[in-house]
């Protein structure tokens, strides 16, 4: 039993089945990403003034990734054209480039962009304490200029200062050993604390620090932060606007009292609605890129049998997955300006 119009086009629609099928699927994908983008609009419009960060994403890397994805869209069309012209070797060449581009895109995201956020620390200061941290927030300067306030101090954790109840010292010590941390006594005799760092002299990762302060009997007292440039010199005109090219972290270390913080975390999904929607959209997009790459690898490695039996069918398969790939690229064309540039 043959399904009609599997490879040949139906006369009145001009389509073969899979082509119609993929366009229908893409319509549903438009609605899926549309739902997420409309969430972005809602959340950004609803965010309090100053609580929607900008300039936190690396634009040069994002631009490079955009170029890679666009290039792969071109090469997948060339691969399909090679099949239509029955040039198998050329198809394999262009398909390989497409696959490599897809893998590079994912690798950049998963080894460069995302991990560096998970070790980045940000603490939102309580509104009534902004004046105390003026040296790092610079809000008087910003209000004078009519700019949105800066509620957050960010950077890398230099150390976590904690107070440990004596009976829980055992749990605390085993936690330190497990995560390769060291604790020294604090320098201020008036406020006895233990200063926790890792064994390289830097602070623990934010995810580890989170677990640390949640151990029963351990109380967070303060966080020492190696400041980002915007917090090191908040009144400099250079820091009045967000930057596309990420700036070098400063050497300045600030101490933030735990009781002055309304919430803190790594630059992870739970940090703010900005990162929530950033990670969700780029994550879902990344899954689609991965799916496309897997399908292309399958066609690269196992396509020859179908090509020899029915080359038109093989060409159609590559065309249809190429359409999917173009859509994935199109979503990225929206993601990049919306998240990286705006």
Partner 1 sequence: MASTTALAHGHDDQDHHGHDDHHEPGFWQKWVFSTDHKMIGIQYGITGLLFLFFGFLLMLIMRWQLANPGDPVPVIGGMLQAVFGDSAFSANADGVKGVLTATGYNAFGAMHGTIMVFFGIVPVAFAAFGNFVVPLQIGAPDMTFPKINMASFWVFFISCVIMLASFFVPGGAAKSGWTSYSPLAGVADMGPGFHPFFNGQTLWLVGMVFNITASLLGAVNFIATIIQLRAPGMTWMRLPFFVWTQFVTAWLLLLAFPPLEAAGVMQLMDRAFGTSFFMPTGLIVNGQLAAWSGGGSPILWQHLFWFLAHPEVYVLILPGAGMVAEIIANNTRKPLYGYKALVGAILVLGFLSFIVWAHHMYMTGMGAKVAGFFQTTTIIISIPSVIIITALMLSLWGGSIRFTPPMLFATAWLPMFGIGGLTGIPLAFNAVDLYLHDTYYVIGHFHYVVAPGTIFAIFAGVYYWFPKATGRMMSPFLGHLHFWPSLIMLNGIFFPMFLQGMAGVHRRWYDGGATYEQIIKPVIHWNEFMSVSAFLLAIAQIPFIINFCWSIFKGKKVVNDNPWDATTVEWVAPSPPGHGNFEKPITVYRGPYEYSVPGANKDYTPQTEPPISEKFPTTAPAGVPAH
Q: Closer to partner 1 by CB, 34 or 242: give it.
A: 34
Q: Which stretch binds partner 1 (CB under 8 A): 22-30, 78-86, 99-107, 298-306?
A: 22-30
Q: Closer to partner 1 by CB, 100 or 338: give it.
A: 338
Please state the closest distance from residue 298 (CB atom) to partner 1, in A. Answer: 15
Report the SS3 class of residue 218: strand
The whole-angstrom separation of Cα 111 and Cα 301 is 26
Please state the closest distance from residue 267 (CB atom) to partner 1, in A. Answer: 12
The whole-angstrom separation of Cα 252 and Cα 233 is 10
34 forms part of the interface with partner 1 (CB under 8 A): yes
Q: How many CB atoms lie within 10 A of CB 251?
A: 8
Beta strands (DSSP E) in the chain are 121-125, 152-164, 181-185, 194-198, 218-227, 253-257, 261-266
Q: Residue 256 in contact with residue 125, Cβ under 8 Å?
A: yes
Q: Closer to partner 1 by CB, 38 or 236: give it.
A: 38
The whole-angstrom separation of Cα 303 and Cα 317 is 10
Packing angle between helix 88-107 and helix 311-335, nearest 10 degrees? Answer: 30
CA dist 190 to 52, 112, 161, Å? 38, 42, 14
312 forms part of the interface with partner 1 (CB under 8 A): no
Please state the closest distance from residue 40 (CB atom) to partner 1, in A. Answer: 10
Q: Closer to partner 1 by CB, 93 or 291: give it.
A: 291
* Closest C-alpha to 313, from 6, 1, 4, 81: 6
Q: Closer to partner 1 by CB, 183 or 212: give it.
A: 212
Binding characters for partner 1, 261-290, by CB under 8 A (x = yes): --x-x--xxxxxx--xx--x---x------
Q: Residue 149 in contact with residue 142, Cβ under 8 Å?
A: yes
Q: Closer to partner 1 by CB, 139 or 273: give it.
A: 273
Burial code of 236-250, b = ≥16 C-beta within 10 A, e = fewer?
Answer: eeebeeeeeebeebb
Under rule CB under 8 A, which residues in 92-131 are in contact with partner 1?
A: 124
Please state the closest distance from residue 335 (CB atom) to partner 1, in A. Answer: 14
Binding characters for partner 1, 39-58, by CB under 8 A (x = yes): x--xx--xxx--x-------
* Closest C-alpha to 15, from 25, 24, 5: 5
Integer Rg of the chain from CA: 26
Please state the closest distance from residue 215 (CB atom) to partner 1, in A. Answer: 16
Please state the closest distance from residue 149 (CB atom) to partner 1, in A. Answer: 15
Please state the closest distance from residue 104 (CB atom) to partner 1, in A. Answer: 26
Please state the closest distance from residue 273 (CB atom) to partner 1, in A. Answer: 4
64 forms part of the interface with partner 1 (CB under 8 A): no
Q: Closer to partner 1 by CB, 10 or 180: give it.
A: 10
- Residues forming contacts to partner 1 in the complex (CB under 8 A) are 1-5, 10, 13, 15, 17-18, 20-21, 24-25, 27-29, 31-36, 38-39, 42-43, 46-48, 51, 124, 263, 265, 268-273, 276-277, 280, 284
């Amino acid at each position: 039993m043959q399904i009609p119009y599997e490879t040949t086009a139906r006369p009145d629609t001009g389509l073969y089945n899979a082509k119609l099928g993929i366009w229908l699927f893409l319509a549903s994908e438009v609605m899926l990403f549309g739902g997420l983008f409309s969430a972005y609009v809602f959340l950004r419009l609803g965010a309090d003034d100053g609580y929607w960060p900008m300039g936190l994403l690396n634009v040069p890397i994002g631009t490079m990734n955009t170029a890679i994805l666009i290039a792969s869209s071109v090469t997948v069309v060339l691969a399909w054209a090679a099949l239509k012209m029955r040039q198998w070797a050329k198809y394999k060449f262009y398909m390989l480039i497409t696959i490599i581009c897809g893998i590079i895109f994912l690798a950049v995201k998963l080894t460069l962009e995302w991990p560096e956020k998970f070790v980045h620390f940000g603490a939102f200061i309580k509104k009534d304490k902004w004046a105390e941290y003026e040296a790092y927030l610079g809000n008087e300067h910003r209000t004078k200029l009519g700019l949105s306030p800066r509620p957050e101090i960010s950077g890398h954790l230099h150390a976590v200062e904690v107070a440990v109840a004596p009976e829980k010292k055992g749990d605390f010590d085993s936690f330190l050993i497990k995560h390769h941390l060291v604790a020294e006594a604090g320098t201020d005799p008036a406020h006895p604390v233990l200063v926790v760092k890792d064994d390289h002299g830097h602070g623990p990762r934010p995810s580890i620090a989170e677990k640390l302060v949640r151990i029963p009997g351990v109380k967070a007292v303060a966080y020492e932060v190696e400041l980002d440039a915007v917090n090191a010199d908040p009144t400099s005109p250079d820091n009045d606007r967000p930057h596309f090219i990420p700036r070098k972290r400063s050497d300045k270390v600030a101490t933030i009292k735990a009781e002055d913080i309304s919430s803190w975390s790594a630059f992870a999904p739970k940090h703010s609605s900005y990162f929530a929607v950033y990670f969700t959209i780029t994550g879902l997009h990344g899954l689609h890129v991965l799916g496309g790459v897997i399908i292309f690898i399958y066609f690269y490695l196992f396509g020859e049998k179908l090509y020899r039996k029915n080359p038109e069918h093989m060409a159609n398969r590559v065309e249809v997955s190429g359409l999917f790939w173009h859509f994935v690229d199109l979503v990225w064309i929206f993601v990049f300006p919306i998240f990286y540039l705006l």
